[in-house]
């Protein structure tokens, strides 16, 4: 009986092997991601013990959600950097700046939460104004780096794994869209603050446009495309499919994700509640979800069958 195929690549070895293949700046960014995740976990404990509300401008929700989002983004972008052909100095400039910006952004949000004051659109004191301005500068750095990585994904991608490369490019383009939507939140929020409409700025769901448009919803959807699409790209590269089918699956998911994002943008910027969907909007959203979910299910099944067939071969 041959057992080599059963033990050659145990699941427990994937993370260590992935870490070894990261560049030094990517390891730094990944370490920052782990730090952000630890901060989110710590503040989740604080939240549950505090007995305070989840929603609102002053809530432990912010260090938790910011920590999780930054953790996912940091680890994902660190892995994506390994698929790019970058000179060390370029990697350090981009990922080093991103690491510093992520840490500073999380620190400022967390600082304001512990002070018991809003982190965003808070100009009540000179110090609060300074904090909000500093957050704006870190966002600017993050936007520049992400746009740079998106451009490099088209000009400096490593050869091979074309479906994964396509998924990374699509995810980064949607991540750029998420940054644009984030800037739009700041513009709308500052306009509302200047007009004295504090209810639109410090509502339970953050900045509100019109009657009930929740601007953070499309922003959040766009941000997490960078996890959803490259993960599918990674899966299809391990399937038994033809290259054409792999690319088709990624195109389907990218199109579906874009449709879901478009519906969310429409709801938010027409002042409608995020789940108060018309029949047309609901139909479009469901179609988008299916375009993402179906390739995922099919890819997981294909990878599972391929692994099962490989294990059976090893037992012969």
For residues 98 and 183, membership in a common domain is answered with: no
pTM comes to 0.87
For residues 182 and 286, membership in a common domain is answered with: yes
Mean pLDDT, the chain, as a whole number? 88
In tens, the pLDDT along 83-102 reads 999 999 999 999 999 999 99
For residues 295 and 184, membership in a common domain is answered with: yes
Q: Is the pLDDT of residue 200 over 70?
A: no
Buried b (16+ CB within 10 A) or exposed e, 261-299: bbbbbbbbbeebebeebeeebeebbeebeebbeebbebb
For residues 93 and 106, membership in a common domain is answered with: yes
For residues 41 and 102, membership in a common domain is answered with: yes
Tell me what percent of the chain is helix, strand and coil, each rounded to the nearest 5. 75, 5, 20
Tokens 């639109």 — which residue? 200
In tens, the pLDDT along 94-130 reads 999 999 999 999 999 999 999 999 888 888 899 999 9
In tens, the pLDDT along 33-77 reads 999 999 999 999 999 999 888 887 888 999 999 999 999 999 999
3-state secondary structure of 159: coil
What does the block give as tokens for 225?
């495309």
Residue 296 within a domain: yes
For residues 287 and 172, membership in a common domain is answered with: yes
Sign of CA dihedral 20, 68, 178, 224: positive
State the virtual CA torsion across 260, 77, 146, 41 in degrees, nearest 10: 70
Which one is predicted more confidently, 162 or 57?
A: 162
Average of per-residue pLDDT across 245-267: 96
3-state secondary structure of 203: strand
For residues 125 and 148, membership in a common domain is answered with: yes
For residues 47 and 32, membership in a common domain is answered with: yes
For residues 133 and 229, membership in a common domain is answered with: no
Q: Where in the sequence is the domain holding 124, given as residue range(s)?
A: 23-159
Query: According to the model, what pLDDT value does residue 166 have?
Result: 96
């Amino acid at each position: 009986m041959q057992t080599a195929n059963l033990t050659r690549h145990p699941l427990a070895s994937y993370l260590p092997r992935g870490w070894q293949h990261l560049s030094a700046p990517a390891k730094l960014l990944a370490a920052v991601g782990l730090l952000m995740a630890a901060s989110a976990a710590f503040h989740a404990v604080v939240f549950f013990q505090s007995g305070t509300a989840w929603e609102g401008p002053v809530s432990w929700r912010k260090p938790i959600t910011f920590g999780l989002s930054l953790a996912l983004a940091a680890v994902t972008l660190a892995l994506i950097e390994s698929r790019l052909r970058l000179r060390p100095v370029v990697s350090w400039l981009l990922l080093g700046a991103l690491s510093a910006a992520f840490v500073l952004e999380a620190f400022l949000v967390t600082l304001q939460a512990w002070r018991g004051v809003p982190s965003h659109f808070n100009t009540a004191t000179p110090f609060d104004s300074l904090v909000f301005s500093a957050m704006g500068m870190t966002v600017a750095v993050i936007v520049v780096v992400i746009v740079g990585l998106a451009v490099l994904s088209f000009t400096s991608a490593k050869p091979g794994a074309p479906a994964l490369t396509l998924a990374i490019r699509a995810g980064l383009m949607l991540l750029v869209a998420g940054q644009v939507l984030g800037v739009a939140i700041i513009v709308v929020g500052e306009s509302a603050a200047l007009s004295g409409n504090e209810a639109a700025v410090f509502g339970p769901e953050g900045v509100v446009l019109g009657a009930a448009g929740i601007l953070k919803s499309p922003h959040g959807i766009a941000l997490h495309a960078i996890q959803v699409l490259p993960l599918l790209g990674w899966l299809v590269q391990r399937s038994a499919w033809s290259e054409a089918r792999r690319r088709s699956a990624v195109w389907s998911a990218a199109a579906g994700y874009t449709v879901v994002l478009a519906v969310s943008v429409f709801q938010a910027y027409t002042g409608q509640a995020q789940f108060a969907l018309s029949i047309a909007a609901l139909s479009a959203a469901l179609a988008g979800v299916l375009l993402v979910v179906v390739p995922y299910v099919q890819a997981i099944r294909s990878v599972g069958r391929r692994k099962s067939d490989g294990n059976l071969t090893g037992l012969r």
